[in-house]
Amino acid sequence: MMQLSAATGAPIRVLVTDDSPIYRRLISDALSRLPNVEVAGTSFDGEDCLRMLERLKPHFVTLDINMPRRDGLSTLEEIRKRRIDTHVVMVSSPNAQSADQTMRALRNGALDMIFKPEGDDFEANRKSLEMQLLQQVETVRSLAKTAIARSRDSSGSAGMRSANLTSAMKAASSDASRSVHYVVSKSNQSQPDARKGVFECLCIGVSTGGPAALGVLLPQLPQRLSVPIFIVQHMPPMFTKSLADHLSQLGPIRVSEAIHGERPLPGHAYIAPGGKQMRVVRTGKEYRMEITDEEYDSPSKPSVDYLFESINAAYGRNTLALIMTGMGSDGLRGCKKLHASGAYILAQSADTCVVYGMPRQIVDHHLASEVVPLPAIAARIGELLRNTR
């Protein structure tokens, strides 16, 4: 019922949880300034949060990572254990320990995260919180609308939306070999398996739900991948390093945060550093990555479009691109250019996305060569790399 009310114009109700009175007030005030949002209540730690959740039934709850008695991670686990119908947004501080803990939460069912601003400029801090919280509100409302649409099709599957990494990995292990796929737009190709040319890189754009989705995809890729992988995951500084370290432990693909001037290697995945832009440049037959602070017309930093436009200039039609779960339209501009060059573009299917925003833009604009469910993406990439010449 909460999801239905959120989708039909009722205010989004939020429970704010933080042991710091200052941050409870900052987050509550920022939420109160947003249109059609109601602060249902505040709680001072995980135990207090669990009590209030049952009574207030908010659409989503913000959970501070570090709290006395019960911290954010154990509170998230208990919310999932009790099957409480709410989304969880983690609130993290800018340090390595919080980044690691937040990554664990995102892999285990948290919807997303917001970053605690810690500068001296109060007004800048307020605006930062408002922008981050506005995105969470829009995401929750979008999910509610999707839930209504899905309820009208009782035969549809909920897929792995909001599933944790463990269950997603089990699904991938059993389903990946099936290589389920279907063509959405044939564009320049007569059929998927007849794609001519040689792929020289794989580039991936992903946002909300990305850490868990990448945790499914990367370990299932072929062990001796013949191309480098470039990834933009929307995240702030420090968190991309934690994500890369975790993903590198899951399987054969080496994953690292990209370094300025580094030359990409086959079978290695490079994640754009949070708060920076990443591009690939070509000089003759050599490629290297550049990490920049360049201004770019995008609300996201790193930006998928920024990377994909450089990929198009460097690799052109020899690009295999993938747009995965995420809110918004980042990647659309870059995919338009890649599509015009003859690149091959995959989109994650709606039923396996946490948020079907970024892939939907690619599908709706007829840029997707194929739409593929998450458990089958790795196998399909393997087929495309084997079958091209």
Point out the residues that are catalytic: 207, 234, 330
**Beta bridge partners of residue 51, listed in sequence order:** none
The tokens for 192 are 């998927």
- Spatial separation of the C-alpha atoms in residues 195 and 319, rounded to whole Å: 12
State yes or no: cis peptide before 299, omega within 30 of 0.
no
Q: Which long-range contacts (CB under 8 A, 24 or more apart) does 245-254 make?
A: 246/103, 246/107, 246/211, 246/215, 247/214, 247/215, 247/218, 247/271, 250/215, 250/218, 250/219, 251/218, 251/219, 251/220, 251/221, 252/219, 252/221, 252/223, 253/218, 253/219, 253/221, 253/225, 253/229
Measuring CA to CA, which residue among 242, 25, 27 is closest to residue 128?
Answer: 27
